[in-house]
Amino acid sequence: MDFFSTYGFLIVSMLFQAMLGLSLYIPLMTGQLSLASPGFYALGGYIAAILSTTVFLPEGGGKWESGTFPIIYVLIETVLAGLASALLALLIGFPSLRLRGIYLALATIAFVEIVRVLSLNLEITGKAIGIFGVPQPFINKFDYVVLALPLLIASAWFVYRLERSRVGRAFTALREDELAAAAMGVNPTTNKVLAFVLGAVLAGMVGAISAHFLNTWNARQGTFDVSILVLAYVIIGGSRTFLGPILGGLLLTALPEVLRAIAGIQGLPLFLSQFLLDGRLIIYGLLIVVAPLFYPQGLITPDLFKRRAVKTKEAGA
Amino acid sequence: MTTNLFFQQVANGLAIGSVYAIFALGYTLIFSILGIINFAHGAVFTLGAYFTFTLTGTAFGFNGLLAQQKLPFSLWFPLALLGGALLAGLISVIIERLAFRPLRRRGADSLLTLVSSLGLAVAIVNIIQFLVGAEAYSYPSSALNDILTPFLFLFPDGKVPLALRVPLTEPPIIVRMVQVVIFATSIFILIALTYLINGTKVGKAMRAVAEDATTSSLLGISTDRLIQFTFFLSGFVGGIAGVLVGMSVGITGPYFGIAFGLKGLAVIVLGGLGSIPGAVLGGLVIGLGEALVPAEYIGYKDAVAFAVLFIVLLIRPQGLLGRVFIQKV
């Protein structure tokens, strides 16, 4: 079990990040670039952190009978975080989704920044220090996999089914041509808000579990930096199928560890191994610049699954 | 808020607002020509500040690849500022080559270009951190005093060094000399840019490309070169903005341009995307708005720009002075 104690934290982080990638992908299905995920992620985390440190306390102020924080409360917090995110997303979604493209991206950046400034200043969110000592439902970090993996599988399955449903096809129609879709009877606002709310719910739920997982929650958890990282998962992984952001989240979260392993190889020049250790974000950034040139739709495209059709088409052309 | 405090904050707000204005002009220039927001503009702003710092011949801190290194020469501060701004402009041209041109050639979605420029911003910021560490830097006071001393003409009584005071009021309204220099430089740049765009041939070409890129290229304007020039101009002005802010509050680390860059977005949206007078108006409004936040809510100061951004997007997406574009099929 040595492997899991060393890499348990990393593996669970990978699952969380894959879900965040998915939460940005869902609004993108309708062609809306929304960078709001980290805002909802932060909100969900605060809900879990506040509830578990102030409301869900063991009776008599002692310890829990089982020794660890009951999982049922984590699940309740996760559901509440999802609900709160849905409400907030509805509230800001209806007015802001009249905006398109760049304006929506800007509005969601503003939302993330406002959440950050609020959490830096409000008493209930612990101001700049944040909330410490979020109780642990598990002894090992790796055990969080029993929460993270089912949630990832469920959300991936949900998006998979969504893509093949009437609503999912409406999303795609909006992405390809909003005007034509509207003319065919697809309501742009309703569908965009729906996609926005679904993404927010997922991000909020991931935040709730993450707060326990990280043991602490503060204003650094949901920032513009996180927006960029999550965006990188989608752009590099693939923006046309739900597998793209999942793969992107898994790969890019594991990348620093891989780079660390490469940097450990004997005989590498010092500055190079230093670069591999400290230059993770440089490499991320450059990947985001280069990837759209070679893989305009990301590493995983729907065409991969119908390779034959593509080949015959190429042969014909 | 007393009247004096009010005027004091108005003075502070005008100084920072004028920097917002010239910084936001960098976004505006590129947006009016390409219709794309250059997210790497905040990184160029940071680079301008760091380049100028380097050119003053001051040694770097203890972290990063260039720890304790310094140039063998040191420039007079205004020259270092000019050099830093030129280098920032050059980097901006390189950014165009790396993140904009290849995608433009492929006719890619403008959102993809936005993402690509964002990636380059992340890379630049982290290269800075890799080279000189994440610590805060400030320009050596000797270098600053060089340019501030000539302005030191009112009440240099030692209590408030390098500041103007309005003497008849109590408490006196104090305007730091740095603020005067910042305001004057910004106004100068605004006037020079306005002249460049409205009074010169290259400005006419820029306006033509902004109006219709295809037609103007048919009429003999080299669009690619003009875009390059626009990026240079945007980077040059953005670099100066970086130095001005660095003079006032110091360079707070490689990320300081990112936060400023996000605020710059609020400025251009408030003024109207692509509108030059709009960027100026937006900059001053947000600068004043931030300065007039009451002291007990000072923690929320950074949210002012974003709250304004959000509200403007909801109520009047075209901004104060922008034009309404009707989406055509």
Reported as a single tens digit per residue, the pLDDT across B34-70 is 888 898 999 999 999 999 999 988 888 777 777 778 8
Task: With a cut of 60, say whether residue B150 has pLDDT above it.
Answer: no
Taking CB atoms and an 8 Å cutoff, what residues of chain A touch B293? none
Indicate yes or no: CB of A107 within 8 angstroms of CB of B313.
yes
pLDDT per residue of chain A (317 residues) written in tens, 0 to 9? 577 777 888 999 999 999 999 999 999 998 888 889 999 999 999 999 999 888 877 776 667 777 778 888 889 999 999 999 999 999 888 877 777 677 888 888 889 989 999 998 888 887 888 888 888 888 888 888 888 999 999 999 999 999 889 999 999 898 888 888 888 888 888 899 999 999 999 999 999 999 999 988 988 888 887 888 888 888 888 888 889 999 999 988 888 888 888 887 777 777 778 788 778 788 888 888 888 888 877 788 777 776 555 555 555 44
| B316 CB burial (10 A radius; 0-12, 13-18, 19+) | middle
Q: Number of Cβ pairs closer than 8 Å across A and B?
A: 128
Residue A15 · residue A152 · CB < 8 Å: yes
Q: What integer is the mean pLDDT of B257-279?
A: 85
B118 contacts chain A (CB < 8 A):
yes
Q: What's this model's pTM, rounded to 2 decimal places? A: 0.85
Structure tokens at A141: 């970090």
Higher pLDDT, B24 or B148: B24
Q: What integer is the mean pLDDT of B177-197?
A: 87
Residue B1 · residue B294 · CB < 8 Å: yes
In the 8-state DSSP scheme, what is residue B165?
E
Which helix (H) or strand (E) element contains residue B75?
none
> Residue for token digits 């990947």?
A287
CA distance to partner chain B, nearest, from residue A249 (Å): 16
Indicate yes or no: CB of A102 within 8 angstroms of CB of B111.
yes
Task: With a cut of 50, say whether residue B21 has pLDDT above it.
Answer: yes
What's the rounded Cα separation, in Å, for the pair A19 and B15?
A: 44
Cα–Cα distances in angstroms (integers) from residue A108 to residues A89, A95, A190, A200, B273, in the given order = 11, 12, 18, 12, 17
What's the rounded Cα separation, in Å, for the pair A270 and B154?
A: 55
Residue A17 · residue A9 · CB < 8 Å: no
| SS3 (DSSP) at A66 | coil
CA distance to partner chain B, nearest, from residue A51 (Å): 25
Q: Which of A196, A225, A241 is nearest to A96 (CA)?
A: A196
Indicate yes or no: CB of B126 within 8 angstroms of CB of A103.
no
Q: Which of B137, B123, B131, B125 is nearest to B64 (CA)?
A: B131
Nearest CA in chain B to A127: B299
CA distance to partner chain B, nearest, from residue A215 (Å): 26
Indicate yes or no: CB of A289 within 8 angstroms of CB of B310.
no
Residue B270 · residue B311 · CB < 8 Å: no
What's the rounded Cα separation, in Å, for the pair A175 and A113?
A: 27
CA distance to partner chain A, nearest, from residue B217 (Å): 25
Indicate yes or no: CB of B115 within 8 angstroms of CB of A288.
yes
Question: Strands B173-176 and B163-166, how do they pair?
Answer: antiparallel
Q: How far is CA B64 from the centre of its chain?
A: 26
Q: Which of B223, B329, B124 is nearest to A181 (CA)?
A: B329
User: Which pLDDT does position A206 carry in this prediction?
Assistant: 95
Residue B280 · residue B271 · CB < 8 Å: yes
CA distance to partner chain B, nearest, from residue A153 (Å): 28
Indicate yes or no: CB of B111 within 8 angstroms of CB of A105.
yes
What's the rounded Cα separation, in Å, for the pair B297 and B286?
A: 16
Q: Show which of residues 5-44 on chain B sit within 8 Å of chain A, judged by CB atoms.
A: 36-37
> Which amino acid type is present at position B278?
G
B202 contacts chain A (CB < 8 A):
no
Region class of B155: left (phi > 0), else alpha (psi between -120 and 50), else beta: left
Q: Which of A78, A79, A86 is nearest to A36 (CA)?
A: A86
Cα–Cα distances in angstroms (integers) from residue A233 to residues A19, A246, A304, B145, in the given order = 10, 8, 18, 48
Count CA within 13 A, CB hemisphere, residue A264.
6
Indicate yes or no: CB of B309 within 8 angstroms of CB of A121.
no
Taking CB atoms and an 8 Å cutoff, what residues of chain B touch A118? 300, 303
Percent of chain B with pLDDT over 70: 89
Residue B26 · residue B32 · CB < 8 Å: no
Q: CB-CB: which of B123, B130, B313 is closest to A99?
A: B313
Task: With a cut of 90, say whether residue B232 has pLDDT above it.
Answer: yes
